[in-house]
Amino acid sequence: MRDMRYVCGIILSLLLFSAPGKANSPIAVKAVVIEDVLADYKNFLNGRNPLSIKDFSGPYSRRDVIELILFQQALTEGGLHTPVILIPMPTYQRAIAELEKGYADATANPVWETDLPEASTWKSISTVDPGQFVAGLYGKPKKNC
């Protein structure tokens, strides 16, 4: 949770200092999100406030949807109490392109570090240390294909 607060504090600072002359205007975070994730997110929420979600089980629950909710909760936990505008994108590549062009403040879901050019975007510190994440293919040992 400490890392999440640190990242959110940095995001808050960047948003506040990148908007000179807008002190009297409400600040909103524009975050890109893939269209199918956004659809499942809306179905999962079913009218609930994403900031109050503690139980992530149920229909339409999946990793991407949970990440989107945690993104919003992390911003609030870090002190940014402002609307998050979710901008639907048709593809992952388009979401990254919109971020690089500056049309969005953040991606609502994690992206691969190698997909973001070093000079074009700011990257948070990693929340998963090298060697802590395991990906693989899983199945029953005696299943014939």
Q: How far apart are the C-alpha atoms of 102 and 59, rounded to whole Å?
A: 34
Q: Which residues pair with 34 in a beta bridge?
A: 89
pLDDT of residue 60: 96
Phi, psi torsion values for 104, nearest 5 degrees: -135, 155
Structural domain total, the chain: 1
Is residue 107, in this structure, part of any structural domain at all? yes
Is residue 41, in this structure, part of any structural domain at all? yes
74 or 132, which is more confident: 74
Is residue 36, in this structure, part of any structural domain at all? yes
Residue 112, C-beta contacts closer than 8 angstroms, at least 6 positions apart = none
Its domain, for residue 19, covers 2-115
Give per-residue pLDDT as tens, 73-107: 999 998 888 899 999 999 999 999 998 888 999 99
Is residue 129, in this structure, part of any structural domain at all? no
Q: How confident is the model at residue 18 (pLDDT cuts 50, 70, 90)?
A: very low
Is residue 29, in this structure, part of any structural domain at all? yes
Is residue 88, in this structure, part of any structural domain at all? yes
Tell me the chain's radius of gyration from C-alpha atoms: 17
Is residue 72, in this structure, part of any structural domain at all? yes
Is residue 120, in this structure, part of any structural domain at all? no
Secondary structure element (H or E) that encloses residue 31, with its range: strand 29-34
Residues belonging to the chain = 145
How high is the mean pLDDT of the chain?
81
